[in-house]
Every structure is written in C-alpha cells, then in structure tokens.
Structure 1
C-alpha cells in the first residue's frame, strides 16, 4: 500500500488519464509506502485535514486545504517511527507548500 502525490494546476480529471496529465505540474512517486505508514499514525476524526487522506482511494486538497494541512506537518513528523516516514512527510510538506502558493491548484493523493 502506498500514497502517491500529484500537484495539478486545476482540478485533476480522476477518471480520464489524458486530461489529468494536462494539468500535472509535479508528481511524487518514490515515498508512497512511507507516506501511507506516516498517515496511518493519525487518529480517525482527529483535528486537521491529513487524516482525511484515504490510503486505498483518492483524496484531493485544494490550495486552502493544503495550507491548513501544512500546520499538521510538525506533529506528523513527531509521530514518524522511521527515516523513510520522515522523508515522505517532508516531501509531502514541499508539495503542500507548492499547492498553497499556486492559485487554483490541487494536490491529489493517489491511494492503492
């Protein structure tokens, strides 16, 4: 199980591969397993946005949700039990920052 990340300039077309590629700005595909493990450490219904991420499906954050999720990164890093997880969360933070700074963008969490 893993969670890959894609930053899109507009809402990604989740059911149309070609259309979703047209809005792709940046992807992160190397930390999926570590990110899934780190996000699994969050309690369901905990405050914040990151617990919403579905490790088996797809979750999309807009720029405002990405900005809100950035405030959760330090707490999530504290919960990480390995360097693999910490690296994944740091990569997530970069993409959340990019999304928050790019008007109209979306961060797509692609679960297995």
Structure 2
C-alpha cells in the first residue's frame, strides 16, 4: 500500500484514457508512498478535516481550496510522526498541498494502490 502525489494544472487527465484533452500533470512523487498511506489510515474518521477522506487504495482528488484546508492539518500530523520517514512524508505532502493551494485551477491527486 502506498500513495503517490500528483500536482495537476487542471482537472487531472491521464493520456492512457484515450481522450483529446491535454495532459495536466505538473509534477509527481512516489517517495512518501508507504509512510504517507500508513499515517492517513490512522487519522480519525468523520472529522472536519480533509485528509481523512484520502483513500489509500484508490485515487482521491483535492482542488486548490481543499488543499488549502488540508494544510491546516499538517502541524497535528507532524506531531503524530514516530520516525523520520513519516515526518518526511508529511513534509512532502505539505509541499504539494502548498503548491496546489497557491496555483489557481490546480488539483492534487492522491494515487492510491
């Protein structure tokens, strides 16, 4: 189980789906994968936060406004980290959330497996 992060400059589009739309991917990372997935599944469910809605087994998409809201959860997540790999995963997530929140019309895709 792992989660890849993908920043898109528009509604996510994967060229393999045979559409005439242009590709939207700006950047992606596979690095936080396993550690991020393990932290996400530990989050309390049905809270006012956004990150608990990320599905580590399927794709979840946040728009720029949802990414901005999720940024407020980062300090609490950092406090829950038990090792450096978890803290690094949260810092990577924070960087992607910040980039999405700062880019009008962008989306952050969490690609679960």
TM-score, with normalisation over the residues of structure 1?
Answer: 0.92
Find the aligned partners of 1:94 and 1:17 in 2 and give their Cα distance: 31
Greater alpha carbon shift after TM alignment, 8-17 vs 33-42: 8-17
Find the aligned partners of 1:21 and 1:13 in 2 and give their Cα distance: 7
TM-score, with normalisation over the residues of structure 2?
Answer: 0.91
Q: CA deviation digits over 1:22-61, x for unaligned, max 9? A: 1111101111001101112201112210000000001000
Find the aligned partners of 2:50 and 2:18 in 1 and give their Cα distance: 26
| Larger CA Rg, structure 1 vs 2 | 2
Question: 5+ unaligned residues in a row in structure 2: which ranges?
Answer: none
Root-mean-square deviation (CA), in Å? 1.9
Question: 5+ unaligned residues in a row in structure 1: which ranges?
Answer: none
What is aligned with 2:92?
91
Q: CA deviation digits over 1:75-102, x for unaligned, max 9? A: 0111112211110010000000000000
Find the aligned partners of 1:77 and 1:108 in 2 and give their Cα distance: 21
3-state SS in 2 of match to 1:11: coil
After TM superposition, the structure 1 = structure 2 runs for residues 1-112 of structure 1, keeping only pairs within 5 Å, are 1-13=1-13, 16=17, 22-112=23-113
CA spacing shift, 1:57–1:17, aligned 2, 3 Å: farther
